[in-house]
Structure 1
């Protein structure tokens, strides 16, 4: 088991590196953020994760240590680490303007001043809530590691974020998307086979786009029709998929992937046009373009297909706990955002269950 975990972490690191490529090309790596000296081995070293102006050496050193903590000790994804550091970069810039040049000197007054400043600049409630959480986690870490005498953010309140429902495609919309891809496969060639397999697999499994691009060929168990994915927090899970997705993936592996594969393709399940592991941005572009070809369909990306899969599962009678397991949510509360159902299903449930219906 330890060997498998090590292998999965190495592969995950490779997938992270792959996110800097667009359709097989090496992406541009921006200059280091001023004031923050990231470790050479950091997965986001040199990435533009925010901007800190006039950051003191104490702030830079502490944020670099915190980045190491997030990456190495908590093993958070690049996206999560980048979000944390962007928010804390904003805090560091504001604290510097208030002459708080050492994070150990942070107070609840400074934190509230920072949030108030964000509010006056028109930041959304979701942004305010996220930055408040980032600050509380950071100040708790400062106290726990002896970098600050007290937890300045312990009493910091945050506005409750509005939980909006992402748009979902109807079953007829999804059939329209699939039919349009099938009709154009002969003209599209290998990339058409790939796009069909990508759409079918995302719809069938509801996996995250990062889980899709990180999947390898040997993660497929075609005999049981399940896919092994590595989710958030390096949590591995098995997700089932149906016959249509099985047929689309089989066609891609048999006729599409060999046409795009190159010496450096490795074991990646899906490839870009240049033969490298497909990039998440390419998958987003594929989904938007393919869904956009269907008249009157809402514009959604891979996350929209994840929401669509969850919605169709619930409409088909799946219980919330099962959907939680399929989506890989740590908390059932996270899954509840997907529980909106059609009025027809509510009416049917009421008619069936209520004695006075």
Structure 2
């Protein structure tokens, strides 16, 4: 074992992140690890900087105090994520024989709030959105409705996450007519295949045709989704694109707070559940790591069905019988 008093934690954090990078997580996952570890580490350093903290400073008592301060201004989900980051970090140190045990068992982890999907509100909102965006908006400097519809359709009809859209390559859309599919680089390095129906295939084909007119033929390894200059879409650009589509369709009031593009994916999953898909099918199509997450869509659908029955005016007539 190394002498705990002499080992700076900041250096071990870099070793941990380098080890995690070999698993090919998303850039955002690595950034979250760094952010969570650094924030709590700074609190343990008590203003003197995280580079002065040694392993000897990481007792259950000091960790509890730091997490209490960390949690004071953050949501339970953020605290739970930070706890998981530190737990993974200590597990790494135990595996590397830097520490004999993991002290996180002495730090309480917040209970996560029940999973609650956030689909677009309104029965016909997805159709209204697509209808509004498919026509060129002359108020835009360079309207490109084919691209905008393709982005919305990939979330609404294939359930792709923002990061998965950004990672798509032209060659990821594969298969013969009638058997088309998209190969997705999923969250946590879990690839999956999502079948696409002829309607979505047609949307993607029209977008690619319009792209060839603008920028010439793209190779199979080129990014599928590009901006108006032909460069690969980035996170901020994709988020802005979706927000502008909501504004153009006049449905911003039907988008759950904080959901944005994810509301489209949740709409896809919710409609799957409404149409009879089971949790296992939803799990495979959306790339969930847990069946519990997929089950949440089915439970929400059941609640909505009961609310619809409850709203039936005939039920109220039964109360006096």
Superposition map of 1:67-216 within 5 A? 67-72=17-22, 74-97=23-46, 101-119=53-71, 121-163=72-114, 165-169=116-120, 170-184=122-136, 191-216=144-169
Kindly state the Cα deviation for residue 60 of structure 1 after the two structures are TM-superposed: 2.5
In structure 1, what is the equivalent of residue 313 of structure 2? Answer: none
CA contact (8 A) 1:178 1:196 kept: yes
- Residue 302 (1) aligns with residue 264 (2): no
1:255 and 1:88 map into 2 onto residues whose CA distance is 45
How far off its partner does 1:343 sit?
Answer: 5.1
1:317 and 2:280 are equivalent in the alignment: no
Corresponding residue of 1:341 = 301
Residue of structure 1 in register with 2:319 after alignment = none
Q: Does 1:232 align with 2:187?
A: yes
Contact 1:237 1:328 (8 Å CA) reproduced: yes
Q: Which has the larger radius of gyration?
A: 2
Q: SS in structure 2 opposite 1:168?
A: coil
Distance in 2 separating the partners of 1:70 and 1:104:
24
The number of equivalent residue pairs is: 293
Aligned to 1:259: 214
> What is the deviation of 1:139?
1.5
Q: CA RMSD in A?
A: 2.8
Q: 1:271 aligns with which of 179, 204, 226?
A: 226
TM-score scaled by length of structure 1: 0.74
8 Å Cα contact 2:13-2:89 kept in structure 1: no
Q: Give the drift of 1:327.
A: 0.4
Q: Does 1:66 pair with 2:54?
A: no
| Contact in 2 for aligned 1:214/1:268 (Cα 8 Å) | yes
Q: Distance in 1 between matches of 2:203 and 2:154?
A: 8
* Deviation per residue, 1:72-126 (Å, 9 max, x gap): 2x3322111111111110122122229872135411111101111123x332111
1:232-265 CA-partner distances (Å, limit 9, x unpaired): 2322211022233122111111123441458999
Whole-Å Cα distance in 1 between the matches of residues 38 and 106 of structure 2? Answer: 21
* Cα shift readout 1:321-349 (whole Å, capped 9, x = no counterpart): 10000001121022233331165634799
Query: Judging changes above 3 Å, is the alpha-carbon distance between structure 1 residues 279 and 264 closer, same or farther for their aligned structure 2 residues?
Result: farther
Mapped partners of 2:303, 2:114: distance in 1: 20
CA–CA separation in structure 2 for the residues paired with 1:104 and 1:145: 17
> For the residues of structure 2 that align with 1:104 and 1:265, how far apart are their CA atoms?
52
- Over 3 Å counting, the alpha-carbon distance change for 1:94 and 1:125 in structure 2 is same
Provide closer, same or farther for how the CA distance between residues 187 and 220 of structure 1 changes in structure 2, counting only shifts above 3 A: farther
The answer to whether the 8 Å contact 1:288/1:301 transfers is yes
CA shift for structure 1 position 57: 7.8
Q: Which runs of 5+ in 1 are unaligned?
A: 1-55, 351-357
- The runs of 5 or more residues in structure 2 that have no matched partner are 1-5, 311-321
